[in-house]
Amino acid sequence: MNTFQSGQIVINNTEEIISEINTLIHVSLDAAWMANGWRIIDSGASNTDVHPLINTAYLAYQHINQFIKEGNSGITPEIFEITEIAMKINALRKNNVPGLQTRLTRLMSPDFTLYRTARYEIQIAGMLLSRGHQVEFIEEGKDKTPDILVTHPVGKAEIECKHKEPMEDQLDYVKSIYNNTQTARRQFSKEFPGVIFIEIDRSRFDEFQTERARLEQEIFRALRNSSSISAILLTSKINLEDNNDYILRHRVAGFSSKNARHSIPDWLSKNLANH
């Protein structure tokens, strides 16, 4: 499994995009919360004073309306971001995934620092759900717990998600990946395979292509030092245009452990790239 992979989502239907976003705002989230945020934007507020999700949705609708007005088609980073999260949240809601509301509360929190972490957990849970697995968000009690429990007819696995901010750990970003794994491994119950997903900013992922040897050294050090970790997956995403299709591409660097108490099962490891 120790490979760099690439998966993608293709978006080429404006009506589907609008439908997913509308369902997100009016059904899965809170339309009044969103509308109030848009009024704040219209009043001239700084982007830093507006919730990241509200700002993204606002800009996405501005871009969509402009494309429609001009009779053109197109995708912007904001349209990609809001469409992806809409698709994942709407699917999780339709499947009554336990613990979703807690994640949505964090996603919409006035503490903006919770947004990216909640978004990444939702992204990973949505990917696992799309693979046909049952998923649930694990509620934290007195003890630390992993973020997600994924269930398959032949077993279960625990998932811990870590999001790294683009400007985090500037002095040694690669080594900081190791520190993330050491925090994450303490979340696992040790009853099931434990998999760590770490989201990395696109520019940082590009760095890893040139520093791959040192990255792998840190990852394998983490795997040697903890039998609780079954695998570590580093993810990043880019968007691009190709033959009139608009593509959201996820890149995954996957590393499995030979030292794990529970090996990552085949049902989980197969085709994780396209999420």
Mean pLDDT of 195-213: 70
Q: What single letter denotes the amino acid at residue 187?
A: Q
**pLDDT in the model for residue 274:** 47
Q: Which residues pair with 159 in a beta bridge?
A: 148, 195
Model's pTM, two decimal places? 0.86
Model confidence at 96, pLDDT cuts 50, 70, 90, reads very high
- Pick 190 or 243 by higher pLDDT: 190
How high is the pLDDT of residue 214? 78
pLDDT exceeds 50 at position 71: yes
Among 58-62, 166-170, 260-264, the least confident range: 166-170
163 has a pLDDT exceeding 50: yes
The whole-number pLDDT of residue 4 equals: 42
Average pLDDT rounded to a whole number, residues 189-193: 93
pLDDT at 72: 76
The position carrying tokens 């989980």 is 268
One-letter identity of residue 166? P
- Listed in sequence order, the residues at least 6 apart from 48 whose beta carbon sits closer than 8 Å to its beta carbon are none
Which residue, 68, 87, 77, is CA-closest to 23?
87
Length of the chain: 275
Phi-psi group of 129: left, alpha or beta (phi > 0 → left; psi -120 to 50 → alpha; rest → beta)? alpha
CB 275 within 8 A of CB 124: yes
pLDDT reading at 60 higher than 60: yes
pLDDT band at 158 (very low <50, low <70, confident <90, very high): very high
- Supply the angle between the helices 173-185 and 212-225 in degrees, to the nearest 10: 20
Number of Cβ within a 10 Å radius of residue 183: 12
